[in-house]
Each structure stands twice: as C-alpha cells, then as structure tokens.
Copies of this chain bind each other. A is one copy, B any other.
Amino acid sequence: MKLEVVTIGTELVLGQIIDTNGAELGRALAGAGVEVVRRSSVADRPEMIRAAVAEALERTGFVITTGGLGPTRDDMTKREVAELFGKPLALDAGVLRSLEERFRRLGRPMPTVNRTQAEVPAGATVLPNPRGTAPGLWVEDARGHVVVMLPGVPSEMRGLLAEQVLPRLAARTSGTVVRSRSVRTTGVAESALAERVGTIEESIAPLTLAYLPSTDGVELRVTAWGLGADDADRRLAEVTAQLRERAGDDCYGEDGTDLAAAVLEQLRRRRARLAVAESCTGGLLGARITAVPGASDVFVGGVIAYDDDVKTAALDVPRALVRAHGAVSEEVVLAMAYGAQQRFSANTALAITGIAGPTGGTPEKPVGTVWFAARYGAEARALKRVFPGDRNEIRARSAQASLDLLRRLLLEKP
C-alpha cells in the first residue's frame, strides 16, 4: 500500500519550524507496511492546500495531512478538503459535546472560535483526539479515495496515528512491509567504507542500500520494499550481517543504537563507573551520556573545565603542564582524564579539550583541533582529530569521537 503525506503550515515551508511530523509519519507508516512515496509541505493558503492534496490524491488515492485543523484563521485544511470532495461542512453534535466537556474540565468557558472545530465534512469519520481540541477526520469518496486529516501538534498527531489511523490501515494492507535495518559506523570516511562494502548493492536486490553520513559517523541503511514480513526480516538479517562483517571494528551497533548507550552497556557489564572532564564540549558529552535512560548505573558525573583554572582546581591538572604544552595537548587531556578518575573515584574516564571555534585557532592548532583521552583502570589512550565543520558540528563530532575512543579501548581489553 502506498500513500502521500501533505504537511500544512506556513512555518514549515518558510523553515521556521522543522517538519518532525512528516518524519514521524514516514517511520510509523513504513513500520506498518505502508510506503510514503512522496511528502509535500505547503503554506496555509487555500489554493495551495487544495492543489497539493488533489495532486497527491490523483497519484496514490490516499493522502494523510497534518496541520490546519486548529480554531484560528490560519487553519483551513478541513474546508479545502471538504470542497475538494464536494461535501459540505456541518456541525457535529458529538464533537461539540466533547469540546464543551473538555473546556468544562479545564474550568474555562469555551471560546467561540473553538466551535468551528466541531464542524466536519458530511459523512466523515471523526477520529477522537483526547489530547487536544481538533479531532482527526477520515474522508472517503465513492472511488475509494481517502484523505485523513490529523492535527499538527506532534503529540496529538502521534496519538491519533497510533490509536486511530494505523489500526484502520492494517485492515487495508496486503501483507507486505517496508522495513529497514542499519549498521552504524564511526571513525571511518564514507568513501573508505564504500570501498570496503564494495558492490554489495548488486547482489541484494530488491533490497536497497544507502550511506547516511552525519556527525555521528556513517550509517549503512538497508531497506526491503514490498516483501512479506518474514521474507524481509530474513533477507535484512543476512545483508546486515554481511555489512557488519565488512565494517569490522568501525561498526558500533545496529539500527537505532546510540554510541553512548552502547558504551554504557559495555561498562555496565564490567560494573565500571564513568566520569568525564570536558573543555570545548562544555557538558555535551555528559548530556549525551545522561540522555540514555538508566545512565546513573554507570555514570557518576564530571567536571566542565571550561576555564583553564578549573582544569587545575577541579581536576588537578598541573598548571605547568598547561603552560608548557597548551590546554589543547596530549599531556593535558591525559591529565584531565586521570584527574576525573581520581576526583570521582571512577575506574573509567573520558576527557576532551579542543578548539571549537569560530575563534581561537592558530596555524599549529587550527579550529577543529581536538584532543581526546580515555582511561580504563591504568590503560590510557589519547587521540588527536582535526574536525571540519562549524562550532556545533565540531562539538558534536568531539562527543562522538571520545565515546568511540573508549569503545575501541574496551574492545582491546575485553
């Protein structure tokens, strides 16, 4: 089964907000065996909404929209779709009742504008939305063409999708799925990885392979299209295993694996305790680590040693070391990691010091120069990288590279 998604909102086409709904729909629908063949975003303008929905409907016969169902003037999706289907809008007593009840519960009078939210195209199925004032609407015509309208607020869209839309779609799908798996690598360039992976694409059809580079590394993503679930899973497992083998030690996990979570899991098994010492990342590494639920089993804490005095006062880095080698040096980063181990009574530590820019670079140490250290017991590793990109990218790559240094050290010391 194929469909198109149309996300509606001036703020989307102007780029003032990022279209997370579109991505979330794609992911959830693919998981249910429904392929989104195109996604379009248009402004809150009647003629544009109508054209985008009509064209998408001609191509696939099934369209999901998000946005434009609110009570304010810039909300016009419902009216345009109703006109497109030639169905008049009429007040729905049930929706009105539940709206009035919602406002009663909140202890506020219902603003008049919200009444328009109780109007639905004749014959539409109302998809109840307990999280907000705009219900979803499922409109279908005699040819079997369907438009499903969902609100733009992400939590409301997500709830309606899971509770109302996916179950209805499950009844319509033919038993095939669109399913992906991926092999995540870091510390290796895309083209180097491509040479190692070679010409695997030719042998995996109808599966497809994509290289997705980001500040986390390069993800190898394999997708099975239009196969039965068991067949897709079997073939994906085979190809994933082949890719994993070719990626070797550069692979740190599969699918949604976060490197921080993978490293924490390794440390958890060893009953290790981790502390961090961060300079140029300023807390980003700690934030990455603590974004993982349950990090507190392993992660003790750390020092954000932004100012050089803090490196001395809170991590016992000898001032003479900083003076002799500079704050961005192998000597200092190793001393930071050692200090973090000692100060936090942790057997494992990571340290980062570098120049994230935009200023502070020199010919010897240009912007992007970052030193990392990992310590596990008495084992220590240090590594220098010179990253491309802006301040944010350099910092993101630094957090990832420091975790990777520890991962590789743990690989050596099983």
Mark A residues whose CB is within 8 Å of B. 9-20, 22-28, 30, 36-44, 48, 52, 55, 70-74, 108, 111, 113-114, 131, 133, 153, 155, 178, 180, 182, 190-192, 194-195, 201, 208-214, 221, 223, 276, 278, 280-291, 293-296, 299-307, 309-310, 313-314, 343-344, 357-359, 388-393, 395
A258–B195 CA distance with the chains assembled, in angstroms = 42
Cβ contact within 8 Å between A284 and B283? yes
What are the 5 tightest A-B residue pairs by CB atom distance, in nearest-first order? A282-B290, A283-B286, A15-B26, A283-B283, A15-B27
In the complex where A37-B42, A41-B38, A48-B37 touch, is A19 in contact with B18 (Cβ < 8 A)? yes
Cβ contact within 8 Å between B293 and A282? no
What B residues does A13 contact at CB under 8 A?
A: 26, 36-39
Cβ contact within 8 Å between B314 and A306? no
What B residues does A389 contact at CB under 8 A?
A: 155
Q: A38-B42, A290-B395, A291-B391 are in contact. List 10 more A-B contacts (CB 8 A).
A: A12-B26, A16-B180, A16-B210, A19-B19, A19-B23, A39-B40, A55-B55, A108-B192, A282-B290, A293-B358
A294–B395 CA distance with the chains assembled, in angstroms = 14
What B residues does A25 contact at CB under 8 A?
A: 15
Cβ contact within 8 Å between B194 and A74? no
Name 7 A/B residue pairs within 8 A (Cβ), A-sorted.
A15-B27, A283-B284, A283-B286, A290-B395, A293-B358, A295-B306, A314-B344
Cβ contact within 8 Å between B282 and A295? yes
A191 nearest in chain B by CB position: B111
Copies of the chain in the assembly: 2
What B residues does A182 contact at CB under 8 A?
A: 16
Cβ contact within 8 Å between A113 and B194? yes
In the complex where A41-B22, A211-B70, A388-B131 touch, is A223 in contact with B14 (Cβ < 8 A)? yes
Cβ contact within 8 Å between B16 and A19? no
| A70: min CB distance to chain B, Å | 7
Cβ contact within 8 Å between B306 and A296? yes
What B residues does A20 contact at CB under 8 A?
A: 18
A343–B209 CA distance with the chains assembled, in angstroms = 52
Q: Indicate which residue in B36, B131, B285, B303 contacts A301 across the interface (CB closer than 8 Å).
A: B303
What B residues does A291 contact at CB under 8 A?
A: 282, 391-392, 395
A307–B393 CA distance with the chains assembled, in angstroms = 29
In the complex where A282-B290, A283-B290, A291-B395 touch, is A22 in contact with B19 (Cβ < 8 A)? yes
Cβ contact within 8 Å between A283 and B287? yes
Cβ contact within 8 Å between B303 and A282? no
Cβ contact within 8 Å between A40 and B40? yes
Cβ contact within 8 Å between B282 and A278? no
What B residues does A309 contact at CB under 8 A?
A: 300
In the complex where A195-B113, A286-B282 touch, is A303 in contact with B314 (Cβ < 8 A)? yes
Q: Indicate which residue in B39, B72, B213 contacts A194 across the interface (CB closer than 8 Å).
A: B72
What B residues does A358 contact at CB under 8 A?
A: 293
| A56: min CB distance to chain B, Å | 10
A201–B41 CA distance with the chains assembled, in angstroms = 23
